[in-house]
């Protein structure tokens, strides 16, 4: 099974130590990345996608080979949706996806076959020839998910893919990602715990650039105090909130 291994990966931005000795092995399956604003989720995604250089000393390997030496081959297996990405309003969805397909090194024939397929996956088939400028925020978001799925990637990184999506579309994206569980490594960051609670094989909770906890939902919830309901939101609150506070009585 293909694997992505990070060993001792660090990232400093001037004074800020944004990622601290990150060490983890990702195999096929869905990995949910949780953590508050500034925890280091995007820093990690940008490093894995080779869009950001980590500090010296760490190692990132895909199937045992350093990603830095894989070059274009790594880009071929990678699908990345960054948190912040601008779209060209004057492009149609089709033109945008053709452009990304070309950047990813897909042949014209491959692009022609795959573009309708990814558009269908994100429920945008009817909008292929429409200008992006006329898209709603959620439609743009789904188009960005579609571009990450081009090229049948083995490693899919989605940085807050469901931000701004309505509940129906969120459920659709959840189901869509489930379809990749067996054939790809999918890393998804989100602030919406329910997006990953039922589908993720493993959860990683990042806190100040470090792994505060990781494991299956079952493993993480089993560590909760006995009187607390066993769900992922409570695991999150256990790490970042005050679970023992009584929210209903103020005295
Ligand atoms: N280009 C940069 N220059 C300086 N500091 C940065 C830069 N990018 C990120 N940081 C800092 O690194 C830390 C981690 O940021 P990061 O964007 O990875 O967090 P995040 O978990 O993705 O947060 P969010 O939930 O808000 O997207 C934060 O303290 C942030 O201020
Ligand atoms: Mg982020």
CATH superfamily of 4-84+154-240: P-loop containing nucleotide triphosphate hydrolases (3.40.50.300)
CB within 8 Å of 115: residues ≥ 6 apart: 94, 97, 98, 101, 128, 150
Q: What is the mean pLDDT of residues 216-240?
A: 93
More confident residue, 123 or 241: 123
pLDDT category at 246 given cuts 50, 70, 90 is: low
Query: How much is the pTM?
Result: 0.94
Q: Considering every ligand atom shown, identify the ligand nearest to the alpha carbon of residue 12 and give its number.
A: 1
Rounded to the nearest angstrom, the distance between the alpha carbon of 83 and the centre of ligand 2 is: 6
Indicate which residue's Cα is closest to atom 5 of ligand 1. 13
Name all residues whose Cβ lies below 6 A of ligand 1: 13, 16, 18, 35, 37-43, 83
Give distance in angstroms: CA of 184 to centre of ligand 2: 22
Q: HEC states along 26-56? A: ECCEEEEEECCCCCCHHHHHHHHCCCCCCCC
CA 248 / ligand 2 centre spacing (Å): 32
What is the mean predicted confidence (pLDDT) over 81-94? 91
């Amino acid at each position: 099974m293909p694997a992505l291994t990070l060993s001792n990966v660090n990232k400093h931005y001037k004074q800020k130590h944004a990622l601290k000795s990150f060490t983890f092995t990702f195999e096929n399956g869905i990995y949910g990345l949780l953590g508050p604003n500034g925890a280091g989720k995007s820093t990690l995604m940008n490093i894995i996608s080779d869009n950001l250089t980590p500090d010296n000393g760490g190692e990132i390997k895909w199937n045992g080979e350093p990603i830095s030496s894989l070059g274009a081959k790594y880009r071929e297996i990678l699908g990345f949706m960054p948190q912040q990405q601008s779209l060209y309003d004057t492009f149609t969805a089709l033109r945008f996806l053709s452009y990304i397909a070309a950047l990813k090194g897909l042949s014209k024939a491959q692009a022609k076959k795959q573009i309708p397929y990814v558009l269908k996956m994100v429920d945008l088939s009817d909008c292929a020839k429409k200008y992006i400028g006329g898209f709603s925020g959620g439609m743009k978001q789904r188009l960005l998910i579609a571009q990450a799925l081009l090229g049948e990637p083995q490693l899919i990184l989605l940085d807050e893919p469901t931000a701004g999506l309505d509940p129906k579309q969120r459920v659709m994206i959840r189901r869509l990602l489930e379809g990749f569980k067996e054939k790809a490594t999918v890393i998804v960051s989100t602030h919406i715990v329910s997006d990953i609670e039922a589908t993720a094989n493993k959860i990683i909770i990042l806190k100040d650039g470090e792994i505060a906890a990781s494991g299956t939902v079952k493993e993480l919830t089993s560590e909760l105090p006995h009187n607390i309901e066993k769900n992922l939101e409570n695991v999150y609150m256990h790490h970042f909130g005050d679970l023992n506070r009584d929210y209903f009585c103020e005295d």
